Structure 1
């Protein structure tokens, strides 16, 4: 009868000296949960690596460009002015009150939309690295999140310019933007983790997600204010894009965020994190074959 300790001893002998337990596998005891949690912990400890890779991605994307990522800022500014003039007339609203709303809405929506769309290729775009370098998969997920966060940061001066032009000055409630951004960041990480794996396995998911994001843009209060729905506005907390946007937009534009919105955003965050973790624990060992 073979000794059950032989596979573990063979794995120990096969592992290189000083290798982390993350890269030592045992077919008899796969340790999926421990390996997945160690992957996440190692990736978070090495956050400087994905941050550097994200900066490199931005430099390569805008190589040879005069304005670089500020082209996105310029296009957003044109959209804010153009749509602000149009929709303020259509909705019969004062331009000075509507312009800050649409400026913050477009910037936050672009951040969410680009992150979700980019999440579909968060792992497949790193195929060469995954197949050759033993890095935690969470490093590639963080790279996607940092890249979109840096691109969004280039549009932040536009918010201050619009607020100054309209004479809008937020109060102390603006500090609530920080927990709102934290919720958005946590959602972005787990969405990138989940969609990265799902799209690596099923390549048709990416175009479906892009189409759904276009629909969500019109179904969410980005260009229009929630109060325009009247009595039907009570159903808006069921829209995850709305509650995530509102946790950032509310403190800046509307003077605060209702408790129901915070509750809905927290519940959606827990749901997304739970689904992504369950999927990552179960299928982490197959990612290298999927990409």
Structure 2
């Protein structure tokens, strides 16, 4: 009796198809197509966090404003920098840093925190990443109220020109990087839970090493070995992310090499994120 033959290629194709770049791109497209879901969930996250609060999400703005004022007053005196120059510098730095650091820390926990939805809701994995970045953009938008007040109070608006609209594409670049960072750290921190505390310590260290509470200009003005330390600051990639958006927001001259470095990291980061999504996307529901 003739036995039917089994097409090995057809049997193995579903498994192999789940680990292709086509499926990785499809996950990103499907996740974006479900924007009504992640837009709603992201807004609900903020409402839930400040439920029964009179001021609500504007506690974010107040907390950032108090922190900026305290650091600005203290370090302007320590570094002997005029307050009307240093306080806007610190304020914008803290606002942007909040978006960057949350992408790293909350991004590494994005899939673990959404364990229930991942196991019960049939949606693309990237939905949770879009939700996270959208939520952080809402926080960023609330903090921009401080920036607007600062523009008027310190006359920063007088320094703004049309080229300073480069802050808009700079924000777009930071959002693109927040997406790939959340994908990469989210996947690997789901598999290896030690990554989150490591990233917490590393982010704190990077905050100190990034010119937020201090300026590279103050080091240059000291001359000698202090001026040479500026080169060490430029080894910190987050410094370049900060500069592409802080300089135009303050009406300061922009250096092109910051953009080149950020663009190069963005391309490399997305290549790695797509590889991680292709290789491990199907395993995340089992790891959580």
Give TM-score scaled by structure 2 length: 0.90
Q: Number of paired residues?
A: 276
Conserved in 2, the CA contact under 8 Å of 1:58 and 1:69? Answer: yes
Which secondary structure does the structure 2 equivalent of 1:123 belong to?
helix
Deviation at 1:133, TM superposition (A): 1.8
- State which of 103, 121, 132 in structure 2 corresponds to 1:133: 121
In the alignment, what sits opposite 2:145? 157
Unaligned runs of 5+ in 1: 12-24
Cα deviation, 1:102-133, whole Å, max 9, x if unaligned, reads 11011111111122111011111111111122
Please say if residues 243 and 265 of structure 1, whose CA atoms lie closer than 8 Å, have aligned partners that are also in contact: yes
* Cα RMSD after superposing both structures: 1.8
Closer/same/farther in 2, CA of residues 216 and 58 from structure 1, 3 Å limit = same
Deviation at 1:221, TM superposition (A): 0.3
Give the Cα separation in 1 of the matches to 2:92 and 2:78.
19
- 1:211-251: CA deviations, max 9, x gaps? 11100000000111122332332343331111111111011
Please state if 1:3 is matched with 2:6.
yes
- Which of the numbers 230, 233, 238 marks the counterpart of 1:233? 230
Aligned with 1:124 (options 90, 99, 112):
112
Establish whether residue 245 from structure 1 lines up as the match of residue 246 from structure 2: no
Q: Which residue of 2 aligns with 1:200?
A: 190
| CA separation of 1:28 and 1:184: change in aligned 2, threshold 3 A | closer
- Kindly indicate whether residue 239 of structure 2 is the aligned counterpart of residue 265 of structure 1: no
Is residue 67 from structure 1 mapped to residue 55 from structure 2 by the alignment?
yes
Shift, 1:254, TM fit: 4.9
How many Å separate the matches in 2 of 1:68 and 1:242? 32
Aligned pairs (5 A) from 1:41-190: 41-169=29-157, 170-190=160-180
SS at match of 2:54: coil
Q: 2:202 aligns with which of 212, 215, 219?
A: 212
**C-alpha distance 97-147 of structure 1, shift in aligned 2 (>3 A):** same
Deviation string 1:130-181 (CA, Å, 9 cap, x unpaired) is 1122200010110110111111211111011112111112222220001110
1:45 is displaced (CA, Å) by 2.1
Inter-partner Cα distance in structure 2 for 1:136 and 1:275: 19
What's the TM-score, normalizing by structure 1? Answer: 0.89
Range with greater deviation from structure 2 (39-48 or 150-159): 39-48
Which structure's relative contact order is higher, taking Cα pairs within 8 Å and 6+ residues apart? Answer: 2
SS of match in other structure, 1:224: coil
Secondary structure in 2 matching 1:223: coil
- Aligned mates of 2:61, 2:218 — CA distance in 1: 28
Q: Secondary structure at the match of 2:267?
A: helix
Structure 2 gap ranges (5+): 220-226
Change (3 A) 1:240 1:78: same
CA distance in 2, matches of 1:284, 1:194: 11
